[in-house]
């Protein structure tokens, strides 16, 4: 689903964000991307969304070679990807509902279905009662969850999140990861960039560690479907 072949990203002669990165994430996987600040995590996610292009190497996402992709195809490619940005990127002048409704407009969903779909997505993140609130009226954690709802509303093939648990307390972090795990169960391939090593350890999922723009370590998944046995990270059913 996500294939990186010897990818290098240089911003200028003196700044190399990623150096010869090669990995594959198969369809239906949930993978953590970790590493210290400045390791290249955000750059890697930006490359997947093709906010930026690779200096060298090939990136294939959902069967599309991003280097060869035409500019005109970019929006349609991005519609297949649900992205949760570190800074949420919610449109502040729009209500929570309008933020979600806009995505549905872009996806050509009939307006009469918008309310239902937005409600369902917000219910997933337990924010259905904040439908008419504006982002500035919400706490950081709530904005984070709205951003997740927006990423989920399209039932995306690939779900990417940049520090989705940053600035959240431990309980909320587990709830957020639970939401991603459920999306993964519904079929989305999930890539989560996080500093939170404890979350990664307790999930037992595959992780890729970046350091100085290179892959320093790859850990394979160690447990089978923990959510079935005891709920994800010990919460839930």
Partner 1 sequence: MPRREFIPGRREPEVPSNTFSYFFREAFRRIWVSKRTSFVAVAMIAISLFIVGSFLLVAENLGRAAEEWQGKSRVIVYLESDATPQQVEAVGRWLASKRELSNRRLVTREEAMARFRIWFANLSEVVGQLDQNPFPPSFEVDVEPRFAQSRAFQQSIGALKGMAGVDQVQYDWEWIERLRRVVNAINIAGLVAGGILAVAAAFTIANVIRLTMLLYREEIEIMRLVGATERIIRGPFLFEGFLQGTFGGVLAIVLLFATYESARRALASSSSILWGFLFTGFLPWPKIAALIAGGMLAGWFGSWLSVRERGDTEH
* Residue from 107, 222, 228, 235 in contact with partner 1 (CB under 8 A): 107
What's the CA gap between 152 and 179, in Å, rounded? 9
Asked whether position 75 contacts partner 1 by CB under 8 A, the answer is yes
The number of residues that bind partner 1 (CB under 8 A) is 35
* C-alpha count within 13 angstroms, C-beta hemisphere, residue 141: 14
3-state secondary structure of 16: strand
Contact indicator for 21, 7 with CB cutoff of 8 Å: yes
CB of 110 to partner 1, least distance (A): 6
Applying CB under 8 A, the span of 2-10, 109-117, 192-200, 205-213 interacting with partner 1 comes to 109-117
Element (H, E) at 144: helix 140-152
What's the CA gap between 179 and 188, in Å, rounded? 12
Asked whether position 11 contacts partner 1 by CB under 8 A, the answer is no
What's the CA gap between 97 and 135, in Å, rounded? 10
What's the CA gap between 88 and 221, in Å, rounded? 28
Q: Pick the closer one to partner 1 by CB: 35 or 156.
A: 156
Contact indicator for 146, 130 with CB cutoff of 8 Å: yes
What's the CA gap between 158 and 26, in Å, rounded? 11
Asked whether position 51 contacts partner 1 by CB under 8 A, the answer is yes
Q: Pick the closer one to partner 1 by CB: 146 or 215.
A: 146
Binding to partner 1 (CB under 8 A): which residues in 111-140? 111, 117
Site string for partner 1, 143-162 (x = CB under 8 A): -------x---xx-x-----
CB of 169 to partner 1, least distance (A): 27
The residues of the shown chain that bind partner 1, judged by CB under 8 A, are 49, 51-52, 62-64, 71, 75-81, 83, 85, 89-91, 93, 102-103, 105-111, 117, 150, 154-155, 157, 187
């Amino acid at each position: 689903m996500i294939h990186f072949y010897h990818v290098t990203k240089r911003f200028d002669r003196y700044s190399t964000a990623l150096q010869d990165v090669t990995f594959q994430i198969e369809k239906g996987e949930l993978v953590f991307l970790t590493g210290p600040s400045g390791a290249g995590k955000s750059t890697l996610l930006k490359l997947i969304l093709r906010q930026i292009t690779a200096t060298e190497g090939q990136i294939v996402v959902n069967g599309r070679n991003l280097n060869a992709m035409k500019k005109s195809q970019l929006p349609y490619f991005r519609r297949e990807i649900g992205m949760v940005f570190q800074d949420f990127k919610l449109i502040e002048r729009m209500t929570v509902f309008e933020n979600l409704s806009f995505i549905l407009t872009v996806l050509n969903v009939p307006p009469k279905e918008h309310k239902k779909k937005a409600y369902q997505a917000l219910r997933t993140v337990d924010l259905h009662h904040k439908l008419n609130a504006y982002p500035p009226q919400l706490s950081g954690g709530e904005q984070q969850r709205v951003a997740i709802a927006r990423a989920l509303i399209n039932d995306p093939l690939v779900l990417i999140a940049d520090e989705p648990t940053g600035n959240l307390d431990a309980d909320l972090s587990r709830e957020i990861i639970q939401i991603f795990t459920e999306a993964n169960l519904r079929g989305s391939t999930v890539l989560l960039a996080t500093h939170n090593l404890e979350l990664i350890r307790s999930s037992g999922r595959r992780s890729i560690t970046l350091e100085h723009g290179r892959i320093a370590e790859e850990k394979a998944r160690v447990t089978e479907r923990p959510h079935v046995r005891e709920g994800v990270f010990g919460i839930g059913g």
